[in-house]
Amino acid sequence: MEKIIQLTEYKYNKLIETAKLKEQEIEQRAKKLFEDNGFLGVLLDLNMKDQYKDFKIHTYIRIHDWESMFKLKYSDEKRIIKYIDEKVQRLIKIKYGDYLSVLSNLYNELDKVKRTKTKFLVFTITGWFIAIILTVINLKCN
């Protein structure tokens, strides 16, 4: 059996105000608990790739929200990932920038040397082949 209770407007407003205060208090306590006990895990994976003969370090970042009452919004997660990526790329450029450019230049020079070596090898084999043919023709004519 349900009871119907009538309240005056004053008591009703006071009850709503108390409920709002309780809700704010609960949220504040939850935030404090999150600040004290909550944490985010960041997985950072660095890979060095040579892309078109240019060495770069690529980052892969994932955010883990373990045992958290407050789930991280997708937009906030993207902002955190962007921030971490920018900082990592800046630190890599500061620490390894010269080495990466030198490594890229060396790789390009090595590629040029390999192509030149191949050209000389083709010229040498062609020259020897022509010399052998001319020698064989000369021997048959005599």
What lies within 8 Å, CB to CB, of 72 at 6+ separation is: 40, 63, 65, 80
Task: Please name the residue that has the structure tokens 């020698």.
Answer: 135
Confidence band, pLDDT 50/70/90 cuts, at residue 55: low
Span 47-76, mean pLDDT?
68
* Mean predicted confidence (pLDDT) in 46-59: 67
Q: Could you read off the pLDDT of 68-98 as tens digits, one per residue? A: 556 777 887 888 888 888 888 888 888 877 7
Q: Between residues 32 and 53, which one has the greater pLDDT?
A: 32
Structure-model confidence comparison of residues 34 and 20, the more confident one: 20
For residue 2, the surrounding DSSP H or E stretch is none
- The answer to whether 42 and 63 have CB atoms below 8 angstroms apart is yes
Q: With cut-offs at 50, 70 and 90, classify the pLDDT of residue 121.
A: very high
- Per-residue pLDDT reduced to its tens digit, 94-115: 887 777 778 778 888 888 999 9
Which pairs count as long-range contacts for 41-45, CB under 8 Å and 24+ apart, including other chains?
A: 41/65, 41/66, 42/80, 42/84, 44/84, 44/88
